[in-house]
Amino acid sequence: MLPPIIGVVLQKGGVSKTITSVNLADCVARRLGKSCLIIDMDPQGNAGKLLGIPRNVTPSIREVLLDTKNEFPLQKVIRPTSVPRLYIAPSNINLASAESHLRIPELFPHPLKQLRRKLTEEALRDIALVMIDTPPSLGLLTVNVLHACNHVIMPMDSGSDFSFDGLDDMLDVIRAATSEDHAINILGVLLVKHDRRQTLCQSAHQATVTKFGPDAFETTIASSSAVKKSEMARQTLMQCERKSSAARDYMHLADEVIRRLKLTPAPAGVTEAPVAAEELASVGAGHE
């Protein structure tokens, strides 16, 4: 059985897809007391940067996607991070060229499902949840994520009308990737950079609830300078700004995600414990 696989998707930039992918995965790992994996499908590689992964690290998710000889299974590129129980399959700018390679029919007869083929039980052994960060486009990389995931989170900038533009297009692409053997559940629409005092944000919240009903997350992510501080520190919010409103919001979001997925949180006292050396060694050994 595969763990829940969540794609964080929207074709707009600046809607905190990477921030959400990394911080939500961190908070879920803490709440579950189990290992979570981030797959970075954005050529900018910002998820890896935020977690202290060296620039242009190889092998990366590009090698996994374009592998036709089983030389690069996913577990070969998964790396531990500085966050307990949080792992990443990193990317770099070279991933941008993968789309043109995937369009070669002689090599990839099913280019939309290349990532899906790589998410095997062996590769995801001991992983409780997978988060996939996506680029700000509806190209082959994002469509690969949709064919691979069984849940999506769509973050939208609460203070910007533009983040709502193209939302129906995103929903159409999600429906197109859905089939009899591959259901995609909208886990939630998430308002980020949310300032409850601003009229525009209040209107955005009401519009989201009206349009999506129970598919809108109850949790919203506050606009906070802590997010920028964590980016500069190359750390998650729980590492460097754990008392901030944004860190609190992502922890609440993790609780909501865990409830919606019907996962079992770890007993009190276990969730914040640092990962044991032997556990890191055993999980890492399976992911090299």
CA dihedral over 259, 192, 47, 142, signed as positive or negative: positive
Take residue 4 and report the two structure tokens written for it: 């829940």
pTM for this structure?
0.91
Model confidence at 270, pLDDT cuts 50, 70, 90, reads low
Take residue 104 and report the two structure tokens written for it: 């070669």
Tell me how far apart the terminal alpha carbons of the chain are, to the nearest angstrom.
21
- 189 burial level (CB within 10 Å; 0-12, 13-18, 19+): buried
Take residue 32 and report the two structure tokens written for it: 């579950």
In the chain, the amino acid numbered 168 is D
Alpha carbon distance 136, 120 (integer Å): 26
Alpha carbon distance 64, 248 (integer Å): 35
The count of domains in the chain is 1
- 173 burial level (CB within 10 Å; 0-12, 13-18, 19+): middle
- The continuous run of DSSP H or E covering 185 comes out as strand 185-192
Query: Out of 22-31, 93-102, 191-200, which region has the weakest mean confidence (pLDDT)?
Result: 191-200
Alpha carbon distance 116, 273 (integer Å): 33
pLDDT one-digit tens code per residue, 98-127: 999 999 999 999 999 999 999 999 999 999
Alpha carbon distance 254, 188 (integer Å): 12
- The continuous run of DSSP H or E covering 154 comes out as strand 151-157
Domain carrying residue 90: 5-283
Alpha carbon distance 275, 288 (integer Å): 18
Structural domain includes residue 225: yes
Structural domain includes residue 195: yes
Please enumerate in sequence order all residues whose Cβ is within 8 A of that of 287, keeping only pairs 6 or more positions apart, or say none: 75, 76, 78, 79, 87, 123
Alpha carbon distance 107, 95 (integer Å): 17
Structural domain includes residue 221: yes
Structural domain includes residue 288: no
- 51 pLDDT exceeds 60? yes
- 273 pLDDT exceeds 50? no
Take residue 34 and report the two structure tokens written for it: 């189990």
Q: What is the pLDDT of residue 277?
A: 35
pLDDT one-digit tens code per residue, 225-261: 999 999 999 999 999 999 999 999 999 999 999 999 9
pLDDT one-digit tens code per residue, 160-184: 766 677 688 899 999 999 999 999 9
Q: What is the DSSP letter of 110?
A: S
Alpha carbon distance 163, 168 (integer Å): 11
CATH code of residue 48 = 3.40.50.300
